[in-house]
Amino acid sequence: MKSFDAIVIGGGQAGPFLAARMVEKGMKMALIERKFLGGTCVNAGCMPTKTLVASARAAHVARNGAVYGVNIPGEIAIDMKVVRARAETVTMNARNGLIGWFAGMDGMTVIYGHARFEDPKTVSVNGETLTAPRIFLNVGARPVIPNLPGIKDIDYLTSTSIIHLDTLPRHLAVIGGSYIGLEFAQMYRRFGAEVSVIEHGPKLASREDEDISDAIADVLRSEGIDIHTGVSDIAFARSSDGITVATDSARIDASHVLIATGRKPNTDDLGLDAAGVITDKHGYITVDDSLSTNVEGIWALGDCNGHGAFTHTSYNDFEIAAANLLDGGDRKVSSRILAYALYIDPPLGRVGMTEKQARASGRKIMISTRPMSRVGRANERGETKGFMKVIADAETKKILGAAILGIEGDEVIHGIIDAMNAGTTYPALQWSVPIHPTVSELIPTLLGDLKPV
């Protein structure tokens, strides 16, 4: 049996950085990774997908160059092999950077294999047994595959496998109208494929307010994406030239099918029962405000604990654990103000409460909206789709939440994120003097238009 000061299971965005901090403190660490260092973000999520999004946007801009007085003769051709290679290069650079970093770190042992608990202080991997008084789980999540009629008879894609495509689908059917599915839908439409989105719920991006969801659908439809919502029945069958997707309202002749119906934590084969670690009904590991599980000496970080499921929230889990365990801090998950983005184009930047959540809270609230068509930068760039929206507490004057669907919305939202984290009231932020011409310069104007509801 090999002994360590701590063991990290999973090489995503939280555990490895915590392991590195612990090595700096002189601890002997083991990092166990089943497949690739970097987790979903580096290998099958943010980095490769946003690289693909950038290629798709380049194609879109080239096709629309004439609007800006830039005429490109002939059709815009897409070389999917180059597109794929570019995304793989970005992934490999990041993954190899992590490999090199850990290889040069005294006190760090990296083990590739499938870890399972033997007891609360012991795990087995590759036939070896490792023990430590502290064990950190950072095992991530994977795509959910629903048991739909005919799905076992077709070759479907997931968000992991689609990034390796080096040919262009004739017609991509996307099953699921949430964030992952919508990003791939617009991306492949811009590459030149026909695209259909099929969503069980009544609207796309169901987490968002109805006006945001409607605006997202308008953006996608304007680019020729076929959207089906409120679909109750879906079945698949092989056809002579691809896959037939039959719903209760349509029949789609697809060449490829992407299943984007959510993700589930990688906790079902860790031997958690042997350690006594409790999970909820969805398989997420139950943790307290400091990310400790119900078993002393075991923590769960990142997607597997159900508190965020984003790269930035996973990294913040590392920051919380490191501050509390190594720096004498008392940081809490409940103090985190959730923010995220949807990387369609234009992107959606979101923070805090939706309007629906704010109304349900019983607070006296104020709301302001402003179309992007009234933003100078948007008009200059010829990208006026979408709108800004902010919600504030009428009594405390604190900002409760905001959504910016529009050009650079994923960056502009950070002005509001920072204000909310600092506890700044909206009247104080309203008196800032932003730079012109930017999208951010409209934030004080947006706040100045807040009205009670």
Rg (CA), the chain: 24
Helices 46-63 + 80-103 axis angle, to 10: 150
127 phi-psi bin (left φ>0, alpha ψ -120 to 50, beta other): left
* Nearest-angstrom CA–CA distance, 41 and 12: 8
Helices 15-24 + 311-326 axis angle, to 10: 30
Alpha carbon of residue 449 to chain centroid = 31
CA dist 215 → 151, 194, 203, 270 (Å): 31, 21, 11, 42
Give the active site residue among 60, 164, 282, 436.
Answer: 436
Active site includes 114?
A: no
Question: Contact at 8 Å (CB) between 204 and 213?
Answer: yes
Residues that are catalytic = 436
